[in-house]
Chain A
Amino acid sequence: MSALSTIAVVDDELGMQRALQRLLQAEGFAVRTFGSADAFLKRPPSPRIDCVVLDVLMPGLTGLDLQEHIQQSDPCLPIVFLTGQGDIPMSVRAIKAGAINFLTKPVKDLELLTALRAALAESERLRLAHQEAAALRTRLEKLTARELEVLRHVIAGKLNKQIAADLGTSEQTIKVHRMRITGKLGVPSVAELVRIAARLDIAPVNE
């Protein structure tokens, strides 16, 4: 979580926008305010937003409607809901749809900041995981079809001899393939190979 995370405040009340902006700015966040869900959706792409503090009840698109939009366009963007009435069915719906937190107005500063930081940390984690997966995928794409096939045998726990028999080739050839695979993916151990394969949804061959 960087010190300059940008928080979007979406609330139909100007007074609330201003109050939250002051509080969050005093805590060192950059803040952008929006008077409606629609204004948020039409925002310019830059600067990037790291977390949304969202009022539930607004004229036009409600907070829950906006949540659906965000789920589709930017699933990593965390949302902290604020509501004037602790409407339980509504909270359940929001949390089921992935809201990290659902706070009731009036909200205490620590409560809000804790929720925000947790949300930012969670989204940071998600983002890193996405990045790692993306990097691995580029490396995986360097494997030839034959090497990929060998990999699926390796992670199934087969010995070189068995793989050679299965693929109708020599044990020596399999050894060369394995060397190229570990070289391209940059991982030495079989355990690591299994982990990466799992992350990238590569299934082991089954007998």
Chain B
Amino acid sequence: MGRASILIALLFASHALGDNPPRRILLLHSYGRDFAPFSRVAAEFRNGLARTRSQPVEFLEASLEEARFVGVERDRPLVDFLGALFRDAPPDLIAAIGAPAALFFERHRGELFPKTPVLVVAADRRRVESFVTRPGVTNVGIDVSLPRLMENILQVLPRTRHLYVITGGAPLDQFWEGELKREWASFAHRLTLHWLSDRSVAEMREVVGRLPPHSAIFWSIFSRDARGIPYENETALASLREVATAPIFGYADYQIGHGIVGGSLAPLEAAGAAAAKLAAQLLGGESAGGTQSITLPMTKPVYDSRELARWRIPESALPPGSTVLYREPGLWQTHRTAVLVALAITAAQTLLIVLLFAARRRAHDMAASLNLAAESASTGLWQVDAVTNEIKASAKWREIFDLPGTQPLMLANVLDRIHPDDHARMHQVVRRAMRGAESDVEYRIVLSDSSVRWIASRSRPELSPDGRVLRIRGASMDITSRKRMEEEAAVQRNELTHLSRVASLGVLSGSLAHEINQPLGIILSNAQAAQRLLAREPPDLAEVREILSDIVSEDRRAGDVIKRLRTMLKREETSSRPVEVHEACEEVLRLVHSDLVGRGVAVERRFATGLPPVQADRIQLQQVLLNLIVNACDAMETTPSIKRSLTLTTAADGNGALFTVADCGVGLPSDRGELFQPFHTTKPNGLGMGLAICRTIIDAHRGRLWAEANLECGASFYVWLPWAPESP
């Protein structure tokens, strides 16, 4: 028997002892009976079959022990042993759990029961392709989408920059490490991958205990560590989770609940269950074959609420249709009675307060003291009677609203004061307040000398016991000076933004002249050719017609350049609107086209398809992109011309778009933070304002602008902007 250990287990269904002899299933494990991931698959398979079969089933289990013993010739002894066991009658069904077991039967199908149907369970199709297409072999395959596993991570943690991949040294571990390296290569521009397969578990614990910010851990198949120590049943996962300083993501459904965050996973347990159903059919007499083979897709996204809480991942970040497991039972479930009692007490208290308040309403001393406090905070107090619309207000309020005197005021008097532009909005606010809504608004009023004042008001309704609005109480503040300052700051920011835009276009003036001279030159030469053609006898009118159409289109082109320039040079109020991502990018690229050609910079566009619009001021967004592109070109001044290339990438990232401008230039200064400071410059004629202003612009858009060094050469600048809200 060599060193391969053999386990034989008998299992009878509870009502197994019928008249028929039990059907015999040979179950071959790849690693060991208790070795994850396949132990979970086998468990589901056994349980599933026990549930579906009414006839008794006998399992004979053996194992290749691939994770424990390397370089041991085990095929021959195992073939002999299994042959001896089933000398009298072959098994009724063979279940090969995992790819190594399947490959064993592929090697020895001739000797080992060529007529017995084989079920290959939970092997990735990539590894067992040739075997599962043979007659008599049925595949319950799993579809492991490696990009999807990466997206699990980026979906909930879009800012991840470092991914630590835990894989082991067993052949299967290494196979998957190779696949991951290949299929994840395309993510290299977004994050750095660190492969830990050459470390022992103790060393891994050290690494994951001190991870840099924006890190995540990916737990791949891990059966044996670098020192050859085998790990069963995710014991290593639990040990790493204890010390991990970043969230751990896994690959398979059975890992959920064992410390992984979750996502869309490889359907291993599901494969065991599905295999049980197929096995029941096969034992029932249906013939095995390719037609019944199935491949299970990745599971629907599923998450562990405890992990989400531990890593502060909001449920709003999860993809639609996600299931969240292991929720802490809510307050309601655990303390139902206590909650009811608390609610009753609160209700009683509220009633008491209302009563007390009503009793003391006429207590002028209290009102006066309240007024005094409000006065010192330059806040005016008021209340409106919901029935009569009569207003009672403090002296400060009358001062703010420029409505002096003591005679009673009506709501209409106040509404008359409201600035025409805020009229409609405020009428709505008042209507809602009268129906019992709280309000918190900022609006303008026009005083009798036609000066404008900004007011901030908050109000709350006072209800009768039966829920009718009796009156509305509120407080108002004069916020004019704050508003003025805000406006001035906005004007100054706008001015600065505009100046910087003019400056960056100034840098381009040479190539912009080229952009305009080019069509003008074409127009001139065409026109002069036309003069000659018309002077001929007979004139070549067909050619002249073509010339004219060329002239018209070149004229339009020159006009477009000027129009684009004018838009960029105009001093305009910021206006945030939905902006088509690629249109905006293409316009900028057209504007800098000649400059790029002149500097010998090749442009590569990597645009994601079907991106929704972002919410932005189009001109300012283009200004930022223009700045980043010109900077990238400057950084490549000393790069050999063959390598001088600029990549503009767009991609969906969380709930926004990510623009990347990557160059092959001199890279970044060691102190990243400095980059975006005003007056930081590396250019002899630079002011050092460009990036500082870009950041101000993007911040004002509630986006993000940052820079990172590229792996191979140069740097990448990233701009992230939120999607525009969907229009109704």
A residues contacting B by CB (< 8 A) are: 12-13, 15-16, 18-20, 22-23, 25-27, 57-59, 62, 82, 84-85, 87, 104-109, 112
Contacts of B517 in A (CB 8 A): 84-85, 104-106
Interface of B is mostly: helix
Complex Cα distance, B528 from A193, in Å, reads: 51
- How far apart are B279's CB and chain A's nearest CB, in angstroms? 64
Contact at A22–B543, with CB atoms within 8 Å? Answer: yes
- How far apart are A7's CB and chain B's nearest CB, in angstroms? 13
Asked if B598 CB lies within 8 Å of chain A CBs, one says: yes
Are A57 and B524 also in contact (CB < 8 A) when A19-B529, A22-B529 are? Answer: no
Contact at A106–B523, with CB atoms within 8 Å? Answer: yes
Contact at B525–A19, with CB atoms within 8 Å? Answer: yes
Task: Name, among B518, B521, B526, B543, the residue most crowded by chain A CB atoms within 10 Å (CB to CB).
Answer: B521
- How far apart are B171's CB and chain A's nearest CB, in angstroms? 49
**Residues 498-539 of chain B, each 1 if its beta carbon lies under 8 Å from chain A, else 0:** 000000000000110111011111111110111011000000
Contact at A85–B511, with CB atoms within 8 Å? Answer: yes
Task: Name, among A15, A104, A112, the residue most crowded by chain B CB atoms within 10 Å (CB to CB).
Answer: A15
Contacts of A59 in B (CB 8 A): 597, 602
A-B contact count (CB 8 A): 85
Task: Name, among B519, B522, B550, B553, the residue most crowded by chain A CB atoms within 10 Å (CB to CB).
Answer: B522
Complex Cα distance, B600 from A16, in Å, reads: 20
Complex Cα distance, B545 from A22, in Å, reads: 12
Enumerate the 9 nearest inter-chain pairs by beta-carbon distance, A residue then B residue, closest first: A84-B514, A105-B521, A22-B529, A106-B521, A26-B532, A19-B525, A109-B528, A23-B529, A106-B524
Contact at B522–A19, with CB atoms within 8 Å? Answer: yes
Are A23 and B532 also in contact (CB < 8 A) when A57-B597, A58-B597, A85-B510 are? Answer: yes
Asked if B580 CB lies within 8 Å of chain A CBs, one says: no
Contact at A84–B554, with CB atoms within 8 Å? Answer: no
A-B contact pairs, 30 of them (CB 8 A): A12-B597, A15-B519, A15-B550, A15-B553, A15-B554, A18-B526, A18-B550, A19-B523, A19-B529, A22-B533, A22-B543, A25-B529, A26-B529, A26-B533, A27-B532, A57-B597, A58-B597, A59-B602, A84-B515, A85-B510, A85-B513, A85-B514, A87-B510, A105-B517, A105-B520, A105-B521, A106-B524, A106-B525, A107-B521, A107-B525
Contacts of A18 in B (CB 8 A): 522, 526, 550
Task: Name, among B511, B529, B533, B600, the residue most crowded by chain A CB atoms within 10 Å (CB to CB).
Answer: B529
Are A23 and B522 also in contact (CB < 8 A) when A85-B511, A85-B517 are? Answer: no
Complex Cα distance, B526 from A13, in Å, reads: 14
Complex Cα distance, B599 from A57, in Å, reads: 9
Contact at A16–B514, with CB atoms within 8 Å? Answer: no
Contacts of A85 in B (CB 8 A): 510-511, 513-514, 517, 598
Contacts of B293 in A (CB 8 A): none
Contact at B513–A84, with CB atoms within 8 Å? Answer: yes
Contact at B520–A19, with CB atoms within 8 Å? Answer: no
Contact at A13–B543, with CB atoms within 8 Å? Answer: no
Contact at B594–A57, with CB atoms within 8 Å? Answer: yes
Complex Cα distance, B597 from A20, in Å, reads: 22
Contact at A107–B524, with CB atoms within 8 Å? Answer: yes
Complex Cα distance, B521 from A18, in Å, reads: 12
Contact at B524–A108, with CB atoms within 8 Å? Answer: yes
Contacts of A12 in B (CB 8 A): 597
- How far apart are A13's CB and chain B's nearest CB, in angstroms? 6
